[in-house]
Structure 1
Amino acid sequence: MLVLVLFIYLAREALLILLLAIVISSALDRLVLLLERFKIPRLLGTLMIFIAGISIVTALLYTIFPIAILEFTTLLEKIGTITDGRIETSSLAQIINTITPNLNNLAKLLLSGTASFTEVIATIFGGIFSVVSVLILSFYLTLSRDGVGRFLRAIFPPMIEEYTLDIYYRVRRKIGRWLEAQMFLGFVVGLITFFGLWILGVPYALVLAFLAAFFELVPVVGPIFAGAVGVVIAGTESLTLALYTFLLFLIIQQVENHIFFPFVMRKAVDLHPVIVLISLLAGGKIAGLVGIILAVPLAVAAQEILEDWMKRKDKLREQGKLA
């Protein structure tokens, strides 16, 4: 047991790369299967999806992201001005002082137009080798029919092979539905937020829209935080604008909670908000951005294993009573 723990600790970076590749492959496999229904060969379908995905991310990185990053750095500087030096020793001040130079470097890299896709992604995630490794691993796992399943069969002993695969397939279905629902909600909320703030004339509308879309992943707390930031920024212009911004976010949340959320989540997985929130916080603390990406899949896997264990426990109790 001690040897296993030591191995996991020493190989933690490689294991994170592998887990991230498995999550990406599991998400893309649904799209590849959809293309196969239209008689598109798996190799061609996988290439199409990866090329399209990299092209979309590259287009965003070199068009919208530089503007958003510059706006965000200006916003951070403005927050520092608003506080008037009263938080110099606080964690917020440390965060602002740490993030701002890094974002400025990333913005300069993007605006220069000379950086490659891998260089930009490596700046965000850290390490070109890690980025290339994730892309290659996820590509080959997606290319092979049930590639992740075959990989799991190869590394797990026969006694737990079928159980491991059963857990994986259930988790993949859950995560697929949850991710699709969250992406849809994030896109819709971000789009509505941007146009609403733009019409009202709120500064940094693009950044605030990105925040609103991103924090849709964080249940309960995320939308409240995004709305609070928007109201504070609008308040630097006028109290009237802050009030209109508050009403805008309130309307968006009501529409989302009573129309979009029930309609979308009805077909999605029932993930308890507390589990999602705790897993995101823990993942971010342990492994940063990669940890946030892996947090929910690992939490769902743990939930599935726990539910199975509880069912088996109840079954044993029933058998004991019958005996």
Structure 2
Amino acid sequence: MNSNWENQTVQADRRPLNYSDLKHWLGLVVLLIVAALLAWALQAILLLFAVVFLLAMVLNPLIAFLQRRRIPRGLALALLGMAFVAVFTLALSFLIPPLLTQVNDLIRETPETWTRVQAQVVAFGKHYPYIRQAVPETDKIFDTVGARSGDLLRLLFVSSFRIAGGLFGSVFALLLLVFVLVNPRPLIFRFLTLMPDDHREAARRTLLRLTQHMAAWGKGVVINGTISAITTGLLMALIGVQPALLFGFIAFLGEFVPIVGPVLASIPALFVALSLGADKFGLALLAVLFVQQVETNVLVPFILGKSMELNPVSILFFTLAMSSLFGLTGAVLSVPAAALVKIVIEEFYLRQRTFNEDQIQSQANQIILGE
């Protein structure tokens, strides 16, 4: 009896596609294409909501901590808001004015700095002619980049502040964040209600793990960025590479883009150091490497531990992919996107399967060793 039923099942699975099946799959493909086009058309709005939900996940543990101390959620949100306003006011009073002054000084001195860099490279090329021959168009590159360097740097800073202001300072985003934080229960309830019964528990675990991951990520970025900014600023000031405060601030911003962000953030300081001579450049390079090694080997394991468990290769992939699709905002959202994909795969696919991890590890080692 069982054997006949299994044979009928196999025959049913092997039946050829008919017109109804083709219509079903064609309709599904069309719906996916339409959904992708609609998402692309609404990418600015979707990115805004993604940033707001990310901030809500980062801030919610602080509000939950106050709630556990018998403080009403609305009052906890108000206290958190007042704390951020106080910090922003202090920064506006003591940090922003000298920072803007150093930005203007750096922009004004960029042509002179570029001229000194050119002189250093030319002198270096005279001592090592084979390097000069390997780059025959150096003068043309210097002339072109030098002519545009001031405008490029000015555009970079103006664009950065406009993007930051548009994403994090708009009234709509702030109101949306308040609405999400003050009463997130209806949103979570509807999300779980939409899930099929068989997958509701997996969806709950996914959302819970993602919230925990994002809270850890937000804490890690702020703490790592603050320590890296202070260390970079102090070391650059000791070396004599100015404006050190600005370079520290750039190092802080670089922490929001994983792996490649700190490297890119070190370029302005190294550029100015190169204009001051090979000794200053060498010291600045050692300082940058020291800060990055401390962050990689001390700060990240101590602050984040194994809470994220994201492979650097996957982080790099998501950073490049998200930045190619959505620009700077996509680069900032690359770690949350990588964490979401990882959690969804684990909860909805890997958790349902049973496999021998030791055997798979052995097979992986055989592939690596070519056995």
Same fold (TM over 0.5): yes
Aligned counterpart for 1:236 among listed residues 265, 270, 275: 275
Aligned counterpart for 2:151 among listed residues 76, 97, 117: 97
Asked if 1 retains the 8 angstrom alpha-carbon contact of 2:233 and 2:248, the reply is yes
| 2:59 maps to 1:34 | no
User: Residues 147, 17 of structure 1: CA spacing in aligned structure 2 closer, same or farther, 3 A cutoff?
Assistant: farther
Mark the runs of 5 or more structure 1 residues left unpaired by the alignment: 107-120, 318-323
| 2:245 maps to 1:190 | no
Alpha-carbon distance, 1:28 to partner: 1.0
Give the AA of the match of 1:149. Answer: I
Asked if 1 retains the 8 angstrom alpha-carbon contact of 2:210 and 2:339, the reply is yes
Asked if 1 retains the 8 angstrom alpha-carbon contact of 2:59 and 2:215, the reply is no
Structure 1 partner of 2:173: 134
Aligned counterpart for 1:86 among listed residues 126, 137, 141: 141
CA distance in 2, matches of 1:7, 1:123: 23
Asked if 2 retains the 8 angstrom alpha-carbon contact of 1:193 and 1:212, the reply is yes
Structure 2 partner of 1:259: 298
Asked if 2 retains the 8 angstrom alpha-carbon contact of 1:177 and 1:267, the reply is no
Alpha-carbon distance, 1:244 to partner: 2.7
- Using structure 1 for the length normalisation, give the TM-score: 0.76
Structure 1 partner of 2:75: 44
Structure 2 partner of 1:248: 287
Asked if 2 retains the 8 angstrom alpha-carbon contact of 1:219 and 1:273, the reply is no
- Using structure 2 for the length normalisation, give the TM-score: 0.67
Asked if 1 retains the 8 angstrom alpha-carbon contact of 2:320 and 2:331, the reply is yes
| 2:48 maps to 1:8 | no
User: Residues 39, 224 of structure 1: CA spacing in aligned structure 2 closer, same or farther, 3 A cutoff?
Assistant: same
CA distance in 2, matches of 1:173, 1:224: 27
Aligned pairs (5 A) from 1:1-323: 1=31, 2-61=33-92, 63-72=94-103, 74-75=105-106, 78-81=109-112, 82=114, 86=141, 97-98=151-152, 100-101=154-155, 103=157, 124-126=164-166, 131-146=170-185, 148-153=187-192, 156-159=194-197, 160-266=199-305, 268-311=307-350, 314-315=353-354
Structure 1 stretch 266-275 or stretch 136-145: which is displaced more?
266-275
Mark the runs of 5 or more structure 2 residues left unpaired by the alignment: 1-30, 119-139, 357-371
Asked if 2 retains the 8 angstrom alpha-carbon contact of 1:190 and 1:209, the reply is yes
Report how many aligned residue pairs link the two structures.
300
SS in 2 for 1:249: helix
CA distance in 2, matches of 1:151, 1:135: 22
Asked if 1 retains the 8 angstrom alpha-carbon contact of 2:308 and 2:339, the reply is no
Alpha-carbon distance, 1:203 to partner: 0.9
Give the AA of the match of 2:166. Answer: G
What CA RMSD, in Å, does the superposition of the two structures yield over aligned residues? 3.5
Asked if 2 retains the 8 angstrom alpha-carbon contact of 1:73 and 1:103, the reply is no
Aligned-pair identity in percent equals: 23
User: Residues 199, 27 of structure 1: CA spacing in aligned structure 2 closer, same or farther, 3 A cutoff?
Assistant: same
Deviations 1:215-249 (A, max 9, x none): 23444444444445433312322333333323333
Which has the larger Rg? Answer: 2
Alpha-carbon distance, 1:58 to partner: 5.0
CA distance in 1, matches of 2:153, 2:187: 36
CA distance in 1, matches of 2:154, 2:165: 16
CA distance in 2, matches of 1:102, 1:181: 26
